[in-house]
Chains A and B, each alone.
Chain A
Amino acid sequence: TQLLEQSPQFLSIQEGENLTVYCNSSSVFSSLQWYRQEPGEGPVLLVTVVTGGEVKKLKRLTFQFGDARKDSSLHITAAQPGDTGLYLCAGPLGFGNEKLTFGTGTRLTIIP
């Protein structure tokens, strides 16, 4: 059973378009993290959201944590080919933050 469900699983759009991908759970998380993984490499942490309703911006990427802390979204404005990759959300398991559970990811392709 996957605690974190990500949608869509695959997304292919033209350069310059906007997009939103989602990370949903039936469980409450104390925080959620977003990673980007490029082919042949390990995931790289983009952001951590910790407060319900929080919005964080990283250049053209906007991350939002749901008010109930059960979901998060990633919005990309004016997508570029460099945004291509696998986007993973992750949340801590249990009381401590030493273990994470990962969603299965959204594979994003930006077509030039």
Chain B
Amino acid sequence: NAGVTQTPKFRVLKTGQSMTLLCAQDMNHEYMYWYRQDPGMGLRLIHYSVGEGTTAKGEVPDGYNVSRLKKQNFLLGLESAAPSQTSVYFCASSHGGGQFFGPGTRLTVL
């Protein structure tokens, strides 16, 4: 089992560009999450999903959109990237207890 995988691992964008981060899990988990991690700020929840076809806002949702068309995939979109979105993004999944995290995507917005 691969667990939770994320693509890409690194990306550099210019201000105003768009991109989609892909998260996939093979553990049949119902819940999936997108976090961002910034120095001194810890992990902050962007959006999450409690099942296929559902999404909900987390703590810092502005500037991001998500979709969960298939149970195993959770996509995070940035429509118009801003320098404030420079961060490391983590996807996680769970069955309602502890969360399993992917390796992260390091995004830089110039």
Q: A residues within 8 Å of B by Cβ?
A: 2, 33, 40-45, 48, 88, 90, 96-105
Contacts and interface: CB of A to CB of B under 8 A. Distances in A.
Nearest to B43: A102
Given A88-B43, A104-B41, A99 B103 contact: no
A45 B98 contact: yes
Contacts of B43: 43, 88, 90, 102
B45 interface: yes
Given A33-B98, A98-B50, A42 B42 contact: no
Contact count band on B: 20 to 34
Contacts of A42: 4, 90, 92, 101-104
Contacts, number: 49
Give me the 9 closest cross-chain CB pairs, A-B, nearest first: A42-B101, A45-B98, A104-B42, A102-B43, A102-B42, A97-B96, A43-B101, A98-B31, A42-B90
B64 interface: no
A81 to B, nearest CB: 22
Contacts of A48: 97-98
Interface of B: 4, 31, 40-45, 48, 50, 58, 90, 92, 94, 96-104
A58 B97 CA distance: 18
Contacts of B97: 48, 97
Nearest to A105: B42
27 contacts: A33-B98, A40-B104, A41-B103, A41-B104, A42-B90, A43-B99, A43-B101, A44-B101, A45-B98, A48-B97, A88-B42, A90-B43, A90-B99, A96-B96, A97-B96, A98-B31, A98-B48, A98-B50, A98-B94, A98-B96, A99-B48, A101-B45, A102-B43, A102-B44, A104-B40, A104-B42, A105-B42
